[in-house]
Amino acid sequence: MAAALALINRGHDVDVYEQAPELKEFGAGVQISPNGTRALHVLGVLETLRQLSCDTEGKEVRLWNTGRTWKLFDLGAEAIERYGFPYVTVFRPDLLQVLVDAVRARKPDAIHLGWRAAGVTQRKDRVILESESGKTVEGDALIGADGVHSVIRHKLFGGDRPRFFGMIAWRGVIPMKRVPQHISRDKATNWIGVGGHVVHYPLRAGKLMNFVGIQERDNWQVESWTTQGTAQECAADHTGWHADVQALIAASPSLFKWALMGREPLPRWTVGNVTLLGDACHPTLPMLAQGAVMAIEDAVILGRCFDKYADVVTALSRYQDARIAVASRRVVGANENAARFHNPALRNEEGATTYVDREWSREAIIRRYEWIFTYDVNAVDI
């Protein structure tokens, strides 16, 4: 949707073909770091989104069993001062709605629902997209932004072998009035432990709390936004974790589970007049909170390439070249954070203190995040 908006904003005629019969996002949270809010600003939707999001005050790290707390970094005012843009936490349906509204305001009939792409045929200057039910549409270019199980990626580059990371993500959204008062309501909290970590942060101007619990487990391998589990199963995966974590699990009206799969970074995303965008080309573990942000950045850079290069094949190839190295580096960064967040050194408080002081020192944080947060979609060479 961000890609559609980036192109429509620049005067291109775009149609979006979405398999879902209705535009209903999965109810979960997404963190958007300053490089992502900078890209949303370029798309013209940041101000609207901020009315629905939260400028969390800061980020903290807590130890899985004792609850000992370390400050990680300031997000609110400090992020704006340092990067020019805020670090926000957003309810996914709100993010989608803001993008959809902006697309429809510019082209009311741009979005075609219940349209599942199944095939692609490339001709010299045209590309034909076929639906599962045999309908076809054609255009000058095709952007496959169809997520981690991308059909378009499969058509361009063949099947891949997702690697199961041996981790399951539990996700829940909790009405804030059900969250015990003493659990931080204005900070993003990252609990770290031996075989897992837990993240929670406020959404929708503080009315909701997002909960994500990632635990190492090898008996669940379904990548799905919609598979539900029970609070008992989730609590069992968090045995020994602090009472605050248990309280959040108990307060979650429903909990969904998702197996974390990884794929090797692709060496290329573009073939002629077809390219990929977002999870379709650079799926990532969520440990750097950059998957959705990268899709939004891709969108802006794609729009800039269409502006600069009249020839579609050149525009798509320049888009790929501008983005592929930075996206691959972030995927690697997320993998490294997985090992960092789940570490044997965290077994007890003594080991944890030395470990956290080293891994979350100011210098280490700047080394890991500064190059990401300062990334400017408008300044990148294309």
State the residues that interact with ligand FAD by CB under 6 A: 17-20, 30-31, 116-117, 145-148, 151, 169, 171, 212, 258, 278-280, 286, 289-293, 295
Q: How far is the CB of 278 from ligand FAD (least distance, A)?
A: 2
CA–CA gap between residue 339 and residue 358 (Å, rounded): 14
**Cβ nearer to ligand FAD, comparing 275 with 355:** 275
Q: How far is the CB of 298 from ligand FAD (least distance, A)?
A: 8
Q: How far is the CB of 338 from ligand FAD (least distance, A)?
A: 12
By three-state DSSP, how is residue 366 classified?
Answer: helix
**Cβ nearer to ligand FAD, comparing 118 with 345:** 118
Q: How far is the CB of 14 from ligand FAD (least distance, A)?
A: 15
CA–CA gap between residue 224 and residue 211 (Å, rounded): 17
Residues 6+ apart with CB under 8 A from 176: 185, 202, 206, 207, 208, 209
CA–CA gap between residue 31 and residue 266 (Å, rounded): 25
User: Is 308 exposed, middle or buried, given 0-12, 13-18 or 19+ CB atoms closer than 10 A?
Assistant: exposed
Q: How far is the CB of 287 from ligand FAD (least distance, A)?
A: 9
Q: How far is the CB of 295 from ligand FAD (least distance, A)?
A: 4
**Cβ nearer to ligand FAD, comparing 168 with 346:** 168
Q: How far is the CB of 329 from ligand FAD (least distance, A)?
A: 15
By three-state DSSP, how is residue 362 classified?
Answer: helix
Pairing of strands 187-192, 58-63: parallel
Q: How far is the CB of 349 from ligand FAD (least distance, A)?
A: 27
Each residue of 154-184: b (16+ CB within 10 Å) or e? ebbbeeeebeebbbbbbbbbbebeebeeebb
Beta bridge pairs of residue 273: none
CA–CA gap between residue 115 and residue 117 (Å, rounded): 6
**Cβ nearer to ligand FAD, comparing 335 with 353:** 335
**Cβ nearer to ligand FAD, comparing 58 with 291:** 291
Closest CA to 369 of 83, 169, 88: 83
User: Is 96 exposed, middle or buried, given 0-12, 13-18 or 19+ CB atoms closer than 10 A?
Assistant: middle
CA–CA gap between residue 145 and residue 192 (Å, rounded): 32
CA–CA gap between residue 36 and residue 150 (Å, rounded): 23
**Cβ nearer to ligand FAD, comparing 20 with 332:** 20
Q: How far is the CB of 195 from ligand FAD (least distance, A)?
A: 16
**Cβ nearer to ligand FAD, comparing 183 with 295:** 295
**Cβ nearer to ligand FAD, comparing 130 with 345:** 130
256 and 206 Cβ atoms separated by less than 8 Å: no
**Cβ nearer to ligand FAD, comparing 301 with 352:** 301
By three-state DSSP, how is residue 18 classified?
Answer: coil
